[in-house]
Chains A and B, each alone.
Chain A
Amino acid sequence: MIRVQGLSKTFGNLKVLDDLSLTCSKGEITAIIGGSGGGKSTFLKMLVGAVKPDSGEIWVDGSPIHALEDLALNDVRRKMGVLFQQAALFKSITVAENVALPLVENTDLDESVVAIIVKMKLDQVGLSDFDQYLPSQLSSGMQRLVGLARAIALDPKIVLYDAPTAGLDPIAASAISKLIKDLNQVLGITSILVTHDIMGAVEIADHMALMYQGRILHQGSPEELLASPEPSVRQFMHGDPDGPIQFRKSREEYEKALFEEAQ
């Protein structure tokens, strides 16, 4: 369903993706975990053709995203829903209008039908009472829920979720995890889930991939990753600050950098 091959991307002199390859099967939930600033959001943006890779191939549902022009790209995009990390709602229109936008723009549905769909989608994310609010009047967690409602408004075949549960209370977070699982099982939506909520991901994902230094370091079923003897995988899955994956520069490097700064 989604297959990427040898994806590389550099911003300035920062190598964000480095020869990344990954396959996501149809009807499955693939969870991508990895360090902050590791290029996960960039990767999702590439899957919808919003960021162009420096090299590599992206195949979504049989279409070569890396090679498509705008018009053909739009046909693929109509099959996909994206929840952005910062929700990316339109600030000047209400919550209901935000969710209605993809429907109004991409279908010929009657206004009354659109209104009903919007109501349903908002109900699914638990925000049916907030339809007349402006995005700026909602908390950031609620904004992300509206973004989720908008992403699934067109009943897409593929949904990309960028940190859907970040900033939500535990109850809302597990409700959203359950919603993602339900959408996947009932409607057969192929899902890619980028998250820092490892346990939430373990519960619902069919496949998990650990991204590190711009490539997939390890992948497999959640159970495999949890049980993996690999030190870096263990460290990440269990959130250990000490291990092969360094949060900060090593002590020696740090001292050297300080010393150079002083000169």
Chain B
Amino acid sequence: MISNTFGWIGRKTIRFFAHVTNISYLGWDILYWIFVGPWVGRPLRWRNVIQEMDDLGARSFPLIGTMSVSLGTVIIVIIGPQFQAFGIPDYVPELVTVFLVRELSPLLTGVVLAGRVGSMVTARLGTMVTDDEVLALEVMAIEPVEYLMVPKFIATVVMLPCLTILADLIGMTTSLIIATFGLDLPFQSYLDGVLGACTLTDVTFSLFKSVIFGIVIILVSCYQGVNTEGGAEEVGSATMVSVVTCTISVILLNGFMTIMFYL
């Protein structure tokens, strides 16, 4: 029984590291095509990149916007009255800013994109593999990594920080409006508080996190997609695994990076 459990853990661990190794190889391959490819006659496909930015990023905007409005509202509604009751309303803008910019915006934007990118990319690539389309690319002497994955990679890694900033702005604006009109905190001093609290370090840290999330999300999604074998059933389960893995990775990485930041 005990040896069984250890065997199970051992096998899982080995599989996990095998996946991590393969994913890093994929990452190196993609970096090669981004930074070396253009010098050896394989220019980046900007048209596809823009297409993917639209598909994977811009279309997430309504979701991100809704989420940020709700987030900004909830935070200010919870924190504001509490601090007012303690007689320290000056700390409200600072706390809201730290929470939103450093933590919640990057985390939740990452989670939203993990769902979107994880499902779209894995399902698309998985279908292409099971329909022999990837094979057809290889046979036409087209590199699938360069043709299919590089545009998606660039799009995700660029769009995620952009969406995070948008989420920050929308969340902060919402909280500012509610603080002014709902909680009678003076507009000017709240705004000053926000601007004072929102340091360059905060913004950089939040963008750094979202870049890391983007890299992990797109690599996992591509990896799951191209390693699909079989048919529709397998594409479905690969997509599910991809979304779950991306989401969990974002959550764990966020915790890890925040702890490292404060240590």
A contacts, CB < 8 Å to B = 45, 48, 50, 70, 74-75, 77-78, 80, 82, 84-86, 88-91, 101-102, 105-106
Contacts and interface: CB of A to CB of B under 8 A. Distances in A.
A50 B140 contact: no
A89 B133 contact: yes
Contacts of A101: 140, 142
Contacts of A82: 136, 139
B135 A105 contact: no
B135 A77 contact: no
B1 interface: no
Most chain A Cβ neighbours within 10 Å, of B127, B133, B136:
B136
A199 B138 CA distance: 32
A88 B136 contact: yes
Contacts of A45: 135
Contact of A88 (B132, B141, B143, B147): B132
Interface residues of B, number: 14
B141 A50 contact: no
A91 B127 CA distance: 10
A77 B136 contact: no
Contacts of A80: 139
Contacts, number: 47
A50 B139 contact: yes
A26 B143 CA distance: 29
Contacts of B127: 91
Contacts of A85: 132
B133 A77 contact: no
Nearest to B127: A91
A88 B140 CA distance: 12
A86 B136 CA distance: 11
B192 interface: no
Contacts of A88: 131-133, 135-136
Contacts of B131: 86, 88, 91
Contacts of B141: 74-75, 77-78, 102, 105-106
Nearest to A41: B132
Interface in B169-202: none
Contacts of A102: 140-142
A85 B141 CA distance: 19
Nearest to B135: A50
Given A45-B135, A84-B136, A88-B135, 9 more contacts: A50-B135, A50-B139, A70-B143, A75-B141, A85-B132, A86-B131, A89-B136, A90-B128, A91-B133
Contacts of B128: 90
Contacts of A70: 143
Interface in B140-179: 140-143, 147
A84 B140 contact: no
Contacts of A77: 138-141
A22 B69 CA distance: 68
A84 B142 contact: no
B30 to A, nearest CB: 15
B4 to A, nearest CB: 25
Contacts of A91: 127, 131, 133
Most chain B Cβ neighbours within 10 Å, of A70, A78, A89, A105:
A105
A21 to B, nearest CB: 23
Contacts of B143: 70
B133 A90 contact: yes
A80 B141 CA distance: 10
Nearest to A75: B141
A70 to B, nearest CB: 8
Contact of A106 (B135, B136, B138, B140): B140
Contacts of B132: 84-86, 88
A1 B116 CA distance: 48
A170 B71 CA distance: 64
Contacts of B139: 48, 50, 77, 80, 82
Nearest to B141: A74
Nearest to B142: A105
Most chain A Cβ neighbours within 10 Å, of B128, B132, B141, B143:
B141
A85 B133 CA distance: 11
A91 B140 CA distance: 16
24 contacts: A45-B135, A48-B139, A50-B139, A70-B143, A77-B138, A77-B140, A77-B141, A78-B141, A80-B139, A82-B136, A84-B132, A84-B135, A85-B132, A88-B132, A88-B133, A88-B135, A89-B133, A89-B136, A91-B127, A91-B131, A101-B142, A102-B140, A102-B141, A102-B142
